[in-house]
Amino acid sequence: MKSLWILFVVGAVLSWGAYVPTIHAGQMAFNKGALRAFLFVGLAYCLTAVLVPGLLIFVGKLEPTEFPTKGMTISTLAGIFGAAGALCVILALKYGGTPLTVPPLVFCGAPIVASVIGMVLHKPANPPSPMFYVGLLMAAVGAGLVLRFKPV
């Protein structure tokens, strides 16, 4: 149970890794209908992110049923960021990006941004090692390499 979190990381990697190619296929099935595809992404978010936790909280009694304003506000902002990111991916695909170009940029750029924002919101006890910054640079270089040598 101590390392159960890693299974959820793998789940997120697999889910988000499948997201761009799948939503692109959905857009094509809608005859290049990016906004119609996003509408169904929203429906899926509602089913997954509203119904499941609602049942787990209210029926499964896995967490208290109190909802502090600060938690609701920050969590709603996080949801807006997530939905905006999904919309940006969908529009990137609509306007010329492909499943071979969009994911390397998004999934290499997002961890860099997340690391910086994470350090701002949760100030580390010690300054990051220079190797941390080397890692950020390597993520950016990795995206460049994937794009440069992508299959055509």
Q: How far apart are CA 144 and CA 139, in angstroms?
A: 9
Both tokens of 68, joined, read 């502090």
Both tokens of 16, joined, read 């988000």
Q: What are the pLDDT tens digits along the chain (152 aa)?
A: 788 999 999 999 999 999 999 999 999 999 989 999 999 999 999 999 999 999 999 998 999 999 999 999 999 999 999 999 999 999 999 999 999 999 999 999 999 999 999 999 999 999 999 999 999 999 999 999 999 999 98
Write down the pLDDT at residue 51: 94
Contacts of residues 138-144 at CB distance under 8 Å and 24 or more positions apart, as own/partner, are: 139/108, 139/111, 139/112, 140/108, 140/109, 140/112, 142/104, 142/108, 143/104, 143/105, 143/108, 143/109
Please report where in the chains the tokens 């109190």 appear, as a residue. 66
Write down the pLDDT at residue 74: 95
Write down the pLDDT at residue 84: 95
SS3 86: helix
Write down the pLDDT at residue 2: 86
CB atoms within 10 A of CB 24: 23
Write down the pLDDT at residue 1: 72
Backbone angles phi, psi at 31, to 5 degrees: 55, 55
